[in-house]
Amino acid sequence: MNLVILMGRLTRDPEIRYGSGANGTQIAHYRLAVDRRFKRDGQPEADFFDCVAFGRQAEFAEKYLHQGTKMVVQGRLQNDNYQDREGRMVYRTQIIIDNQEFAESKSQGRQNAAAYQAPAESSQPPYSAPAPAAPAYSAPAAPAYSAPARPAAPADDDEFMNIPSGIEEELPFE
């Protein structure tokens, strides 16, 4: 089974091309930055994956995706190995996109995009971390519930329920 699911942000706007065949299939290329779960000193904080979408998925990417958009993508790994002009082998792995979805709301995406934009002229550093977002949904408090009291079983009970005779027609199974 070849299945990849990633969540990350686009590092730049998708690059759109069209296939050379008769139907000119639309092709979108973009790179997804995926934060590493565990960070160590001296190690990168994110991994970068090249993604390729075809047809309708590429149309979606062209229309709605831009730098900084947080996405969940599902696809498969594919090796794209070739020999360059100097005769050296180039090894490349891509994610071929089967499905892509937004990982945050449009308003949250705008807030985060604004936080990652450098100010035009400022003495502050170009990056300031976004403020922690309030949860979009807060579950209501669970109602207090107590299980009904279980009748005490007789001492010789074998923990099985006794089914009275004559109700076979009412049972949902045979």
| Nearest-angstrom CA–CA distance, 32 and 4 | 13
Q: Helix (H, G, I), strand (E, B), or coil: what is residue 59? A: helix
CA dihedral angle for residue 121, residue 126, residue 128, residue 130, rounded to 10 degrees: 90
Quick one: pLDDT at residue 105? 84
Element (H, E) at 49: strand 46-54
| Nearest-angstrom CA–CA distance, 61 and 26 | 10
Phi, psi (degrees; rounded to nearest 5) at 82: -155, 170
Average pLDDT over residues 160-169: 61
- Render 97-111 in DSSP notation, one character per residue: EEEEEESS-HHHHHH
pLDDT tens column, 129-153: 444 444 444 444 444 444 455 455 5
Instruction: Output the pTM of the full model.
Output: 0.60
Of 25, 48, 47, nearest to 37 by C-alpha is 47
- What the chain holds in terms of domains, given with CATH numbers, is 4-36+46-116 (2.40.50.140)
pLDDT tens column, 70-125: 999 999 999 989 999 999 999 999 999 999 999 988 777 777 666 655 444 334 44
CA angle 59, 103, 27 (to 5 degrees): 20
- Render 135-153 in DSSP notation, one character per residue: PS--PPPPPP--PPPPPPP
